Chain A
Amino acid sequence: MSQWIRWWGLGLFLALVLLLWLGTNPLIQWSLESAGTQAVGAKVELDSVDLDLNPVTLELKRLQVTNPKAPLRNIVEAGRIEMSLDGYALLRRQFVAENMAVEKLRFDTERASSGAIEGRMFSRKKKDSGESEAGTDLASMLPGVELPDPDKIVTEERERLLGKVDELDGEAQQIQQEWQDHIDRLPSRDSVDNYRERWNELKDKDPLRRAAGVRELKKDIDEDLDTLGGLDDRLKKDRQRLSELAARARELPGKEARRLMAASGLDDGFRGVTRKLMGEQLNGWVDIGLTGYRLVSKHMAGRKAKAQEQSKPPRGEGENIRFPEDQPRPRFLIKRSAVDGVARMADSSVDFSGTIRDITTEPAVWGKPTTLAIDGSSKNGTTLDISGTFDHRTAPGRDQLDFRIQQLVLRDARFSQSSKLPIVLEEGRANIDGNLTVSDGELDGAVNTEVQQTSFAAGGENTGDTARRMARAIEGVSGFRLDLGLSGSLASPKISLDSNLDNIIGQALGDEVRAELAEARTELEEKLRAELEPRLDELAGRQQALEQYRERIDQRREALRSIRP
């Protein structure tokens, strides 16, 4: 027997196990960092990891999650995370934490070095600034500084507008073609002659045969008259439709001119001026919020399960098949997580604390949605209240977040980064009420902000006359309202903004600028009309053709009636 045993092998095995144990913490750290980095698309780093077995606790020190869009900043940073784990669950290959404490949580912090990862997963393309609304420099487009060039707009929009006219003309053409077919099927002159001949022949026949022949002739003529009667109704409807199409075509240049001016933030009522001024900032804020949400939600159960169903598991990993359990538990679950930290909001540092419950990758198995309740306050009187439910127990899932920030102190907040009309909110106090719902990737949200006690500084060295007038108007504002709407999808969110600043700016610019804008719009409308004129005439011609068809129907009807016995 002893010839089969190698005693030094036992020693080597124990040494290997010891080495493995000593390497556990670095191994966990490496696993968490690599998995996190892969998930985020930028570096996720930990200062240290400490696993204890009695009781089973895992402590992570200084977690930093890089913002993939700004690699020199962290999206989130946590000073310390401690979890008390269920040891038995670990044996079952489940990560179940009864309690987790996340301390010193902070957002959007500075990094000592770039957290970008070279090559893979970091190729998010920047939007072409020409297409992005955010990149539009409003001041350069303001009346008195530089109005939009109608020729340029007409050239840019020509194909699209012709397409619209083609669409209208296509329908009119179809109606005209159908009528050509109806006309071709009408009783011809030959058939009218034929009826006349039959009538003449009947006159010479005996009374009995004549009566029968007359009945038959009447029946045939009546059938033709009925056909013509049916066409009358149809003609009436189609004339009305063609008239509508022609009217729409006529109105198109005017409508498009208004739309294009409005798209530039330069319609008569100045609706959208604030949206243009704040576009870049707004998009930036929404982008930060949605980036964070995407990072969290992409690992939520519904999506992951769907993705796994569609593809085969990677080589060497296989698939874990589930079976009914006495007490089903997800593979990853944190039952209760207490969080505390500091959120830098404008000029306030809000100390917050709260609880997140039932964080899991398999909510359908756990049977409870993830819930969140956080509140906080700052020394200068700002209060924060956030509550949310992330319910992915059944597909497609629904996430709901409500938040309220009261008395937020704003100081030196950049409103517009326009080179010709920079606007800085020097001070103010904001009350913000917001809610966001995401279901099946569709967004529905609103953030209503009321800012009081404001003091603006607007304008700069490059500011022109009109922009200066706007700057003065803005500087006189002591309070305003911003209602932000969020819709569309997570991939391409749509932001709408309604603000009373639009009216304030509009009033400041006055009638003179409004008249200038109206003139510009009229010029644009005329240019568009000139460009589309030939096609609009063609459309009007189709309406004329229908009139001719009506005359032909009337002529045939008269002819038939004249020979009807």
Chain B
Amino acid sequence: MLGILARILKVLNSETAPAQIAAAVLLALFMGLSPLGAPHNLVLLLLVLVLRVNLSLFLVSLALFSGIAWLLDPLAHSLGQTLLQAGALEGLWTAMYNTDFWRLLGFNNTVLLGQVVVALVLAAPVYFGVTFIVRNYREHLRERIHKSRLMLALKGNKWGRRFYSIYSSLNH
């Protein structure tokens, strides 16, 4: 756990572009909210591995969003069911249902559709929110936190020292 936190802190403090960090969180959002066996996750996995997004942050975010997906499951089911049974969209769904590609993606599954819609709605706020946080952290917060009493207290603490040694080993 300390190792993961240290890695995240290292990423935040590194020169990695904020967009790359935000992209990792964004991809984790889509993968984490979708059921594990969803076919589109294979494409997302390809993107995660090929694009230079931060893998540590991706894995942490994936775990976080998977937990959120479990909690959101009933809501996603209701949302998906409402959308799939909406009279105005029936023509669209019927056309998609008769297409191999969409059938393969399993769009007609209530939970899958609901969670993908939730992910789409959250995509822009998450991406821009993470970019904003990383930029602000680097410009204003990094030095202040480094010199804060909390950090000094942490360095004096047993666990804090262990965390710091992990963090330092990552930097070297």
A residues sitting closer than 8 Å to B (CB atoms) are: 3-7, 9-10, 12-13, 16-17, 88, 91-93, 312-313, 315-326
Q: B: which residues have CB within 8 A of A?
A: 17, 20, 35, 42, 45-46, 48-52, 70, 73-74, 76-77, 80-81, 84-85, 90, 93-94, 97-98, 100, 103-104, 106, 108-112, 114
Is B111 within 8 A of A13, CB to CB? no
CB distance from A333 to the nearest CB of B (A): 15
Contact assessment for A323 and B50 in the assembled complex, using a CB-CB cutoff below 8 Å? no
Residues of B within 8 A of A320 (CB): 106, 108-110
23 inter-chain pairs at a CB distance below 8 angstroms, sorted by A residue, are: A4-B51, A9-B51, A17-B42, A91-B103, A91-B104, A92-B100, A312-B77, A313-B77, A313-B111, A316-B70, A316-B73, A317-B35, A318-B80, A318-B109, A318-B110, A318-B114, A319-B111, A320-B106, A320-B110, A321-B84, A323-B98, A324-B94, A326-B98
The contact of B49 among A3, A12, A91, A326, by CB within 8 Å, is A12
Task: Please name all residues of chain A whose beta carbon is closer than 8 Å to the beta carbon of B110 when the two chains form the complex.
Answer: 313, 318-321
Task: Say yes or no: B50 contacts A325, CB within 8 Å.
Answer: no
With a CB–CB cut-off of 8 A, which chain B residues contact A325? 97-98
Q: Which residues on A sit within 8 Å (CB–CB) of B74? A: 312, 315
Partner of B104, one of A12, A93, A315: A93
Q: Given A13-B46, A92-B104: A6 and B73 within 8 A (CB)?
A: no
Cα A17 to Cα B41 with chains together (Å): 12
In the complex, A466→B35 CA distance in Å? 72
Chain A min CB distance to B70 (Å): 7
Assess the A88–B50 pair: CB atoms within 8 A. no
Q: Residues of B contacting A6 with CB < 8 Å?
A: 49-52
CA distance A268 to B78 in the complex (A): 68
CB distance from A16 to the nearest CB of B (A): 7
For A317, the chain B residues whose CB sits under 8 A away are 35, 111
Could you tell me the distance in whole angstroms from the C-beta of A129 to the nearest C-beta in chain B?
47
CB of A9 within 8 A of CB of B70, answer no
In the complex, the answer to whether A315 meets B45 with C-beta atoms within 8 Å is no
Nearest chain B CB to A295's CB is how many angstroms away? 27
List A contacts of B17 (CB < 8 A). Answer: 3
Partner of A16, one of B45, B52, B111: B45
Residues from chain B with Cβ under 8 Å of A319 in the complex: 77, 81, 109-111
Contacts A92-B103, A312-B77, A323-B93 given; does A318 touch B52 at CB 8 Å:
no
With a cutoff of 8 Å between Cβ atoms, the chain B residues found around residue A17 in the complex are 42
Can you list the 5 inter-chain pairs with the closest CB atoms, starting with the nearest? A318-B111, A9-B49, A323-B97, A92-B103, A318-B110
| A323 and B108 contacting across the interface, CB-CB below 8 Å | yes
Contacts of B80 on A, CB cut-off 8 Å?
A: 318
Distance A252 CA – B116 CA, assembled complex (angstroms) = 73
**A13 vs B73: C-alpha distance in the bound complex, in angstroms?**
29
Q: How many Å lie between the Cα of A293 and that of B94 in the bound state?
A: 37
Question: Which residues of chain A come closer than 8 Å to B94, judged between CB atoms?
Answer: 323-324
Task: Select which of B70, B85, B100, B106 is within 8 A of A315 by beta carbon.
Answer: B70
What's the least CB distance linking B61 to chain A, in Å? 17
Please, which residues of chain A bring their CB within 8 A of the CB of B93?
Answer: 321, 323
If the complex has contacts A91-B103, A92-B104, A318-B110, are A9 and B77 also in contact, measured as CB distance less than 8 A?
Answer: no
Instruction: Tell me, in angstroms, the Cα distance from A543 to B166 when the chains sit together.
Output: 101
Q: How far is the CA of A321 from the CA of B114 in the complex (A)?
A: 13
Residue pair B111, A323 in contact (C-beta under 8 Å): no
| B109 / chain A contacts, CB cutoff of 8 Å | 318-321
Question: Are A13 and B108 in contact (CB-based, < 8 A)?
Answer: no
Residue on B nearest A16 in the bound complex, by CB: B45
Chain B, Cβ-Cβ closest to A325: B98
Q: How far is the CA of A1 from the CA of B80 in the complex (A)?
A: 37
Residues of B within 8 A of A323 (CB): 90, 93-94, 97-98, 108
For A327, give the chain B residue with the smallest CB separation: B98
B111 / chain A contacts, CB cutoff of 8 Å:
313, 316-319
Known contacts A4-B20, A9-B52, A323-B90; 13 additional CB pairs below 8 A are: A3-B17, A6-B50, A6-B51, A10-B49, A10-B50, A13-B45, A91-B100, A317-B35, A318-B35, A318-B110, A319-B81, A320-B109, A325-B98
B35 to A316, Cβ gap below 8 A? yes
Query: Nearest-CB distance from B14 to chain A (Å)?
Result: 14
Nearest opposing residue in chain A for B46, CB measure: A13
In the complex, which residue of chain B has the Cβ closest to the Cβ of A90?
B104
Contacts of B84 in A (CB 8 A): 321
CA A534 to CA B65, docked complex, whole Å? 78
Q: Is the CB of B108 within 8 A of A321?
A: yes
